[in-house]
Amino acid sequence: MKRFLSAILVVAALVVVSAQPARRRVTLIVTGGTVLTQDAAHRILTPGAVAINNTDIVDVDTPANIAAKYQAAETIDARDQIVLPGLVNTHSHAPMVMYRGLADDLALMDWLNKYIFPAEAKTVSPELVRVGTRLAAVEMIESGTTAYADMYYFEEEIAKATFEAGLRGVLGETVIQFPVADAKTPAEALVRAERFIKEFKDNGLIVPAVAPHALYTNDTATLVASAELARKYNVPMLIHFAETEDEVRVAREKYNMTPTAYLDSIGVLGKTTIGAHGVWVNDADIAILKARGVGVAHNPESNMKLASGAAPVTKYLAAGVKLGLGTDGAASNNDLDMFEAMRQASFLAKHATHDPTAVKAQDALDMATMGGARVLGMEKTIGSLEVGKHADLITVSMRAARQTPMYDPVSHLVYVTRGDDVRTTIVNGKILMKDRQLKTLDRAAVIADANRLAARVRAAVAR
């Protein structure tokens, strides 16, 4: 009787299994966490799961439904974690991690002229850029940044290191009027920039770009030539603009216009322009930025530390200007942690507008995800967890005492979470970090290389 019953159960089980439709094979499933999709409806699955095949998201559903539909080569358990789109850093100078903390608490021009420019003049080299970018990549992967915009020198070294690390980047070769480490003249820089664009134009992770430094460091001809180069290859143009009150003064004296109006008057602003800072803009400037489709990179920490001012974030949002968050280079922040950028964006906007309802936690998270994706021109491919988008996502632990209890995952991500809480970082479907173990970079070697070169930097400023 017992034997007979067993036989029936086995047969029944086989019937159940064979009745199941065949599960689709996928490369990766992330399951069990609170999934913040950051889609248009801000859908949250508690818990949820994300199915990934190769580079793309193929499904977002409950863990049970995903398990029923898919069979994965690898599964990541995200219980007690929040799963969200990877963070997008819209403004940085990655290799400047090599100068972090070298000089702080100085007026901008003292800081640049006495420390940063001399240190750069003596130490910027392909090697320093390579080593610095690797260090920045470790920091970005460890703190949940999956895509970033960059402008620096020897940008091809940055592109190579970024690609090897597995990060997504919009990387702009700097064009500047005075002689720098990789170009003696802006003409030379433009030649470098064109070569750089051609080299990386069809790279799946890297979008090459042109980066005229700013209006106060380039003449009109150079700015126009930079914009033309970007248009010729249909690549983004990155530029600093309206960062300080002094820049407004310079623009008014030289051109009798605001920085924004001047840049618009020479025809360099457009849908693929990424403008960093945008602190000192008036309502007419905001209207220009909206009309041209310029993406603005807001850097609250750098703006506070250098006392540049507070960008009118609530006005940008109300006007519908594309708005993302950035850390700026680590020499003026002093790190690349986008969780700090989110928190500071919220705090600074509340303070500056005298309104505690300004830039709510959800607004800050939106800026760091979909907002950043829009600024980089990637809103159709990254920035949210939706079917068909690239699989750029992170999982974040919520087990710290400072995260206990949790009433609202979005509040916790913005107000009490640190980059160090990130457990898993995935870009383009590839795991770059799992349980805080890096997969694409040799952490110890990167840190050792950075410390070795830091001795040279220290010597350079010690003179």
Question: In the complex, which residues of this chain contact a second copy (CB under 8 A)?
Answer: 97-98, 100-102, 104-108, 111, 135, 138-139, 142-143, 301, 303-307, 309-310, 330, 333-337, 344, 346-348, 350-351, 353-358, 360-361, 399-402, 404-408, 411-412, 415-416, 418-420, 443, 446-447, 450-451, 453-454, 457-458
Q: How far is the CB of 388 from a second copy (least distance, A)?
A: 32
Per-residue H/E/C for the chain:
CHHHHHHHHHHHHHHHHHHCCCCEEEEEEEEEEEEECCCCCCCEEEEEEEEEECCEEEEEECHHHHHHHEEEEEEEECCCEEEEECEEEEEECHHHHHHCCCCCCCCHHHHHHHHHHHHHHHHCCHHHHHHHHHHHHHHHHHCCEEEEEEEECCHHHHHHHHHHHCCEEEEEEEECCCCECCECCHHHHHHHHHHHHHHHCCCCCEEEEEEECCCCCCCHHHHHHHHHHHHHHCCCEEEEECCCHHHHHHHHHHHCCCHHHHHHHCCCCCCCEEEEECCCCCHHHHHHHHHHCCEEEECHHHHHHCCCCCCCHHHHHHHCCEEEECCCCHHHCCCCCHHHHHHHHHHHHHHHHCCCCCCCHHHHHHHHHHHHHHHCCCCCCCCCCCCCCECCEEEEECCCHHHCCCCCHHHHHHHCCCHHHEEEEEECCEEEEECCEECCCCHHHHHHHHHHHHHHHHHHHHC
Considering the complex, state which of residue 39 and residue 420 has its C-beta at the smaller distance from a second copy.
420
Collect all residues with Cβ–Cβ distance below 8 Å to 386 and sequence separation of at least 6: 37, 39, 57, 60
User: CB 193 → a second copy: shortest distance, Å?
Assistant: 29
* Minimum distance of a second copy from residue 326's CB (angstroms): 16
* Min separation Cβ 360 and a second copy, Å: 4
**Of 266 and 310, which CB lies nearer to a second copy in the complex structure?**
310
Q: Please, what is the minimum distance in Å from the beta carbon of residue 5 to a second copy? A: 42
Q: How far is the CB of 224 from a second copy (least distance, A)?
A: 33
Give the residue with the Cβ less far from a second copy, 219 or 355.
Answer: 355
Instruction: Tell me whether residue 108 or residue 287 sits nearer to a second copy (CB atom).
Output: 108
Q: Which residue, 51 or 135, has its beta carbon nearer to a second copy?
A: 135
Shorter beta-carbon distance to a second copy: residue 6 or 404: 404
Q: How far is the CB of 93 from a second copy (least distance, A)?
A: 15
Q: Which is nearer to a second copy, 333 or 428 (CB)?
A: 333
Q: Which is nearer to a second copy, 4 or 407 (CB)?
A: 407
Nearer to a second copy, 74 or 355 (CB): 355
Nearest approach, Cβ of 76 to a second copy (angstroms)? 22
Q: Which distant-in-sequence residues (6+ apart) come within 8 Å of 182 by Cβ? A: 124, 153, 154, 174, 189, 192
Give least dist CB 47 to a second copy, A. Answer: 17
